[in-house]
Amino acid sequence: MIKKTLILLIAFAFIFANIGIIHSQTPAPVFDYNRAYADYVYNTDLYNTAYSDYQVARSAYLSSKTLAAQTNAQSATLKMLQARDEMVKTYLTALRMRIKETQGLVDNDKNVIFSQIDTDVAWWIAHKTKLTSAATLDDLVADSNEAYDHYPSTLIVIYNGLFDVFTGRIDDNRNNMQRIVESIKVEVAQIKANGDKNTSQIERTLIDVDNDVQRSQTKESEAKNIITGMTLEQNASESNDQKFENAKTKLKESLAYLNDAEKLIIQIMTQIKTKD
């Protein structure tokens, strides 16, 4: 279970790819996404070390069953579970900052996912605090199982957050494209009114652009419906992991339509500049 958690977190780290860590030169650095991501990387390293120590202590205890080995195993388990809780918390915090800095998302959408993230972060903080009260190794095992049972809820929050990052980028691109298209339409109307050139082909291409943009929006809506259909029910016909992958596929299709529209816009701009 512990390894599965780590693997899942690493798998989602692709949203952080190709973004450098910026170290502030000021005495009081601003807490932003880069700083939050650096915290996550640091705590992941701490967890890896704690997990390795836990494996050694656990093996020693299972082999000898001595009181000393049990004490060491309990101490190593506590440190590992604390490190794991902190790693999950810092991942959620980094995701929150990534969403905060993502263009294209309206404030209402950001506030909804912020509330989900903040609630889940509070759960992991409380769970980490609770660990220190465990008197026995069995108590720690129970606490670990509690985190295992809660993690599917955390995963839904993560999926929702990642989805918002993706859609924010797409929406920002689409909004910029629509502003460009509107400017082109105004220019084409002026060219047509002046009789400077035959604009019939350009106007047909603009219709194709509008259709591509609309199809992009439709694919994004389909992806949103998939994400909102996530559930914690064990007997669900489709796992949340698969739903997330299906939603990503829809978003890729949405982006593909925008790419097609962009190519058409470049074609239109060339046509405008070309004399009949």
Residue 161 in tokens:
């957050």
pLDDT digits (tens, 9 = 90+) for 194-215: 988 999 999 999 999 999 999 9
pLDDT at 262: 96
Q: Which residue has the tokens 């559930």?
A: 231
pLDDT at 15: 36
pLDDT at 274: 83
Task: Indicate if the pLDDT at residue 22 is higher than 80.
Answer: no
Output the average pLDDT for the chain.
90
pLDDT at 233: 78
Which pTM was predicted?
A: 0.84
pLDDT digits (tens, 9 = 90+) for 167-198: 999 999 999 999 999 999 999 999 999 988 99
